[in-house]
Structure 1
Amino acid sequence: DYLQYVNANGGVNGVKLTWSECETEYVVEKGVECYERLKGGLNGAPAAATNPLSVGIAYATLERSTADKLPLITINHGRTDSTDGSVFAYVFPLQLNPYSEVSAIVNYIGQREGGLASLKGKKIAVLYHGSPYGKETNGVLETLAKNYGFELTALEVPHPGNEQQSQWLNIRRLKPDWVILRGWGVMNPVALKSAQKVGFPVDHIIGNIWSNSEEDVIPAGAAAKGFISITTHPSGTDFPVLQDIKTAVLDKGQGNLSDPKRFGTVYYNLGVVNGILNVEALRIAQARFGNKPLSGEQVRWGFEHLNLGDARLQALGAKGLVQPLKLSCADHEGGGAVRFQQWDGQRWNLISDWIQADRALLRPIIEASAAQYAKEKGITPRDCSKEQ
């Protein structure tokens, strides 16, 4: 809908956007097939970037994207070490990588407990989806547990996650102070209902980036009331950009929403945020390479020079919807902050300001992992000091 809105206003400096959607059903093979079909562009227009919105598909197309010089955008997810653009030149985990996600959650728990020093001796359980996505943060959580002295228990939930009785009986026995929920799909409402059954307080469960939507809580009914989750952007329709989309697209019956009630939900707004970041990268690249359709290499330059401060966000009608963001050759994430929201049974309410991940702590871990990947794949890292 955001891309339609941009086109309705003449495109990006006069260049109209075209795109194609693929229903992958989260199946890696379908995602790869879609990538191969569209990497050469569409109707004569070159491909600018891919946005698979799936960790599995992102992993499966990572090497292809790099070889094809086509930016792979994994907003709020993907491989954490792809934050290091010197090694992962074409991969962009915009706003929030998985390590930042759990670091910010631990910082928030620390805040709630009266400071990070108060985490010593506390018990935190992480309930995670049994997939590479779910497991990605276990190592860094162990590091944070050692640093702050809390006791960590990691409990895996096999996909799809509709069977969690033994894990919650375990949680009842362990009596953790907090549970971090790194779920996906049906696993989330089942977790909330299971917590209610064993008497674990739902307001001490913190959902991650794929456990934070209306779709995750509504099926759990009353069991979800009080549940807390992180978000990189608020829900709601009060932002000028959303009102503009409504007027220019939705009110004319051209939107992509089969259910108008989903306008302004967490996932709808994530789509708008993603649209803004993709289009801003094009705009920045055009300022250097000219107002024309761009190659993947030129678009990558645009992403690496994304710099969205308050003034630009205000001009876009997205202040408060998008966090200030500055990317570079070395930093393909650029944000690393989240806010916390709580479900009141009807809607999400923000209950915190921006809480930053401990990026200084995470950066050496990211660089070590990226260097290992470069060694395995025979990649010579770019010298970011020479990138203009």
Structure 2
Amino acid sequence: MKQKLLTAVTAAVMAAGPALAELKIVDTSYRTGPYAANGIPFSDGYQDYFTLLNERDGGIGGEMINLVECETGYNTEKGVECYEGTKGDDSLVYQPLSTGITYQLIPKASADGIPLHTMGYGRTSAKNGSVFKWVFNYPANYWDGASHAVTHILNQNDGDIGDKTIALVYHNSAYGKEPIRTLEKLSEKHGYDLTLLPVDHPGQEQKSQWLQIRREKPDYVIMWGWGVMNQVAIQEAVNIRFPMENFIGIWWSGSENDVKAAGERADGYKALTFHNLGRDYPVYDDIQEYVVDAGLAAGAGDQIGSVLYNRGMYAAMLAAEAVKTAQEMHGVAAITPEQMRDGMENLEITEEKMAAIGLPNFGPEFTVTCENHGGNGLGAVSQWDAEAGKFELITDYYQSDQEIIQELVKEDSMSFAEENDIELRCD
């Protein structure tokens, strides 16, 4: 049962008490290596939002945010080193931005009592809060994304894809393998044929995969890529004249960096998203004034409104709202990691709250509970308009196929609980 937020009482408590320690949040970033083009804008958005709160609001609840950045290069070993080197009893939350790093940190952070927010990535079955007490992947996960892609294909074919073939071009890693089980289950349900085409790290060599696509002519291609792999895949698709409107990337394969190298021929390429696009939001006026124009931007200040800047900003906003929730719940401003976890588990994102933040209609509403650490699982489809030079939403938000996904989440999470002797919670 969700705890009630005693806003008036806690506001009085926080006003009466002295300021204590800063709110420490760690940004495990990657500004170097083959994935830097995508890591940089996300990290810029993540950091700039927290800088905005410090400069405009004096932090959160009167406590300044201490943002600690640690470079991982999207390398799992370095990611673990960053965690070990920065963790402490004042570390409120980690956003690993890597499925490989996430898998390694789940047991470590759980043992240390530090929350992980793996927004739209990581171990999908961590949605089950009964098993994964310290891990949150709201507002949507990989299996939701796989379902969204299939739903879009169904909608393009009047609900019947029994005669269609779909190829999955995926990063040959824990990240890229996440959607396979879901797509296989959906194949059984809807009758399409599924072809699996792994691409080895970092993804610069894909000739054989796209030659196979040219030879077998699948009706649709779904891509689970990241970094340079996305750029190469889109260029290869252009080279074999694969129809871009039938090429759909997961949300980590849908940034401006991924399509611009292919020029006008990338027009029509599609990608999933769990939030809105562009920079026409009041919060960006404040970021421009208090952060960019003040010379405090994490980067050059030229990424505002780009897909991955928006996503990093969104992740920071969700963390900040969880901090506020935790402060209100516990009546203190300088919260602990355990209290931050409570704030994340009791987080409610409403349109009213988003509008007040300066992000009206930026994303769907969702609620986190003890049982559900993954949100409502909504996602939409965006499409690249080469002439306009931007992605635009072309659908409403889809609900993922919960009948299939919940079964998979339960199966995988219960297996993890049994293997690790985890006692279930949320009674």
Q: TM-score, normalised by structure 1?
A: 0.95
- Once the two structures are superposed, residues 183-241 of structure 1 have per-residue CA deviations (whole angstroms, 9 ceiling, x without a partner) of 11111111111112222111110011210111111122233221111111233111111
The residue aligned with 2:12 is none
Q: Residue 348 of structure 2 is aligned with which of 307, 312, 324?
A: 307
2:128 to 84, 102, 120: 84
Q: Does residue 106 of the first structure (1) align with residue 150 of the second (2)?
A: yes
Partner of 1:340: 381
Cross-structure match for 1:124: 166
Who is 1:227 aligned against?
269
Q: Is the 8 A contact 1:15 1:291 kept in 2?
A: no
What is the CA-CA distance between 1:359 and the residue it aligns to?
2.1
1:257·1:263 contact (CA, 8 Å) conserved in 2?
A: no
3-state secondary structure, aligned to 1:119: coil
Shift of 1:140: 1.3
> Residue in 2 aligned with 1:36?
84
Deviation (angstroms), 1:39: 1.1
Checking the alignment, whether the CA contact within 8 Å between 1:92 and 1:333 is kept in structure 2 is yes
- Find the counterpart in structure 2 of residue 295 from structure 1: 336
Show structure 2 runs of 5+ residues with no match.
1-47
Alignment of 1:1-388 (within 5 A): 1-8=48-55, 9-40=57-88, 46-115=90-159, 118-258=160-300, 260-345=301-386, 346-382=389-425, 384-385=426-427
CA pair 130-27 structure 1, distance change in 2 beyond 3 A: same
Q: Would you say how many aligned residue pairs link Structure 1 and Structure 2?
A: 377
**Distance in 1 of aligned mates of 2:360 and 2:368:** 18
Which of the pair has the greater relative contact order for Cα pairs under 8 Å at 6+ separation? 2
In structure 2, what is the Cα distance between the partners aligned to 1:141 and 1:102?
A: 6
For residues 88-145 of structure 1, the C-alpha deviation after alignment (integer angstroms, 9 at most, x for no partner) is: 1001112111111101111111111112xx1111111111111111111111111000
The one-letter code sitting in structure 1 at the alignment partner of 2:51 is Q
Q: How many Å separate the matches in 2 of 1:292 and 1:350?
A: 38
Alpha-carbon offset, residue 298 of structure 1:
0.9
Contact 2:182 2:404 in 1 (8 A): no
Compare 187-196 and 67-76 and name the one that shifted more.
187-196
Code of the aligned partner of 2:150: V
CA distance in 2 between partners of 1:127 and 1:296 (Å): 38
Amino acid across the alignment from 2:87: K
Contact residue 76 and residue 94 of structure 1 kept, 8 A: yes
Deviation at 1:275, TM superposition (A): 0.8
Q: Secondary structure at the match of 1:20?
A: strand
Q: 1:261 deviation in Å? A: 2.7
Matched position secondary structure for 1:18: strand
**Contact 1:31 1:52 (C-alpha < 8 Å) held by counterparts:** yes
1:233–1:266 CA contact under 8 A, matched in 2: no
